[in-house]
Amino acid sequence: MNDFDYDLFDDVDDMNPVYDDLYMPGANLWYDDDDVEEGVKVGELLELCIEPTVRDGFSHVGKLLLWCFLFRASTQLVEVPALLRHAVSAGTGLLVLHHFFRATMYYIIGFAVVSYIILFSISCFLHKYRGPVMGFVSITFLIISELFLPSKVEWHKIRGAQMLIAMKVISVAFDTDFGALQCLPSPAEFAGYLFCVGTCVFGPWVSYRDYIAIYTKPLWDMKWLRKILLNILLAFAFLTLSTCWVQWLIPDGSWRWWMAYRDSFSFRSSHYFVSFLSEASAIVSGFGHNRDEPWSMSVTKPQFIEIPRSLVQVVVYWNIPMHCWLKNYVFRTAKPLGSFAAILSTYAVSSLLHGLNFQLAAVLLSLGAYTYVEYVLRLKLATVFGACIQVRPCKKDCSHRNKEKRLYVILANVGFGIISMLHLSYLGVMFDMSSKIQEEGYNYTHTLAKWSYLSYASHWVALGTYIFYLLI
């Protein structure tokens, strides 16, 4: 299987928007309109935005990390019965879910209970196809919840947590089909895995085997503590970038593409905040020590997204655990139907897991088209010129005669990287935290209005790139 087959797919997380319609002012949450002309000094920015943002953020994050530590200390410092440690995992997770979602958490619990009952029932009759069946059940449940939940605002709040439960349920079903699990987990094990405090709110997705491994020879060392502190520091640095710094550095009234980059970067920074926070909570809970390099778990890698070599690289490093989940449980399952069907199925499942959302579907489908065009074009150019200009860096022993360090190869890769940055700015333009409709999810008019303001430039560039590929 080639690099394109494996690395094309990823989800687009719940985007935290930073836009009002058509770039109208509305993101300047930390000063009044009367102050715009005078500008805001760094001291005022610190007092009015950065300090309260960090304080309010840590008031919630601190409780999550504390419960993660209490869970680990009570289950991994000393040997405890298996039933007790799974009960503590589920219990602390439910407490955290209640803190973030209040009464709405009962929809999450209901989904988990129904999923286990169905999975247990079909296991009595089927010894394969449990994965596809639970995939269909989970996605159907998510769609029905979105359509019939009384409040769209409440659904929008729990959508991410529901998606995590769905991914865990589906992965258990597939692992049982594949033989990676000898039998279904018991109800206590299943609850401990689904509601594990370190992964139930912000993620990341972890496999059932990774969950069980945290109780086996748990590792406590200074590297564990340093990794946690580094992730927390990075999370809050990106939180302040998203909320305060970018709007201050690139004010309203700038060139529209500068504002597009500003707001797209602001949204990406909010994703990095959640990603590093999820990584910190998982590591506090004990995840990551069973790898070849202890505490090496990664959720995202901003350096490969902000300075991209290609869009394929972006979608791989945007959410690494989600990429692995899609590759293992969706793409490989659909691969016998052909590469195109597997690609289409992967993007369709990713879209449906996020709900019936035109905005996310539009982004995912656009990414699918962009990455495909980029892949085939760069592969053809690499073959014609014998140059290392494919979507992923070549190995040292590749057959290309023009290696990565050749000047025109560097310029070509930089050029494709700039095009990728344009696409990222364009695709991120509609995610709008300041818009009133953000709490209920965006509709198609919002998305098309944002892209129309930029003259659909990114789509035209992709089309031109594809025509160029056909001509050479």
Q: Which three-class secondary structure string do you get for the chain?
A: CCHHHHHCCCCCCCCCCCCCHHHCCCCCCCCCHHHCCCCCCHHHHHHHHHHHHHHHHHHHHHHHHHHHHHHHHHHHCCCCCHHHHHHHHHHHHHHHHHHHHHHHHHHHHHHHHHHHHHHHHHHCCCCCCHHHHHHHHHHHHHHHHHHHCCCHHHHHHHHHHHHHHHHHHHHHHHHHHHCCCCCCCCHHHHHHHHCCCCCCCCCCCCCHHHHHHCCCCCCCCHHHHHHHHHHHHHHHHHHHHHHHHHHHHCCCCCCHHHHHHHHHHHHHHHHHHHHHHHHHHHHHCCCCCCCCCCCCCCCCCHHHHHCCCCHHHHHHHHCHHHHHHHHHHHHHHHHHHCHHHHHHHHHHHHHHHCCCCHHHHHHHHHHHHHHHHHHHHHHHHHHHHCECCCCCCCCCCCCCCECCCCHHHHHHHHHHHHHHHHHHHHHHHHCCCCCHHHHHCCCHHHHHHHHHHCCCHHHHHHHHHHHHHHHC
Indicate whether 9 pLDDT > 50: no
pLDDT of residue 3: 42
pLDDT of residue 155: 80
pLDDT of residue 257: 87
Q: Exactly one of 271, 323, 354, 423 is catalytic; which is it? A: 354
Indicate whether 292 pLDDT > 70: no
For residue range 204-261, list pLDDT tens digits in order. 999 999 999 999 989 898 999 999 999 999 999 999 999 898 888 888 778 888 888 9
Split at pLDDT 50, 70, 90, the class of 24 is very low
| Winning range, highest mean pLDDT, from 139-143, 287-291, 356-360 | 139-143
Higher pLDDT, 65 or 146: 65
Split at pLDDT 50, 70, 90, the class of 40 is confident
Share of the chain above pLDDT 90, in %: 53
pLDDT-wise least confident of 117-131, 197-211, 313-327, 405-419: 117-131
Higher pLDDT, 14 or 434: 434
Split at pLDDT 50, 70, 90, the class of 263 is confident
354 catalytic residue (yes or no):
yes
Higher pLDDT, 8 or 135: 135
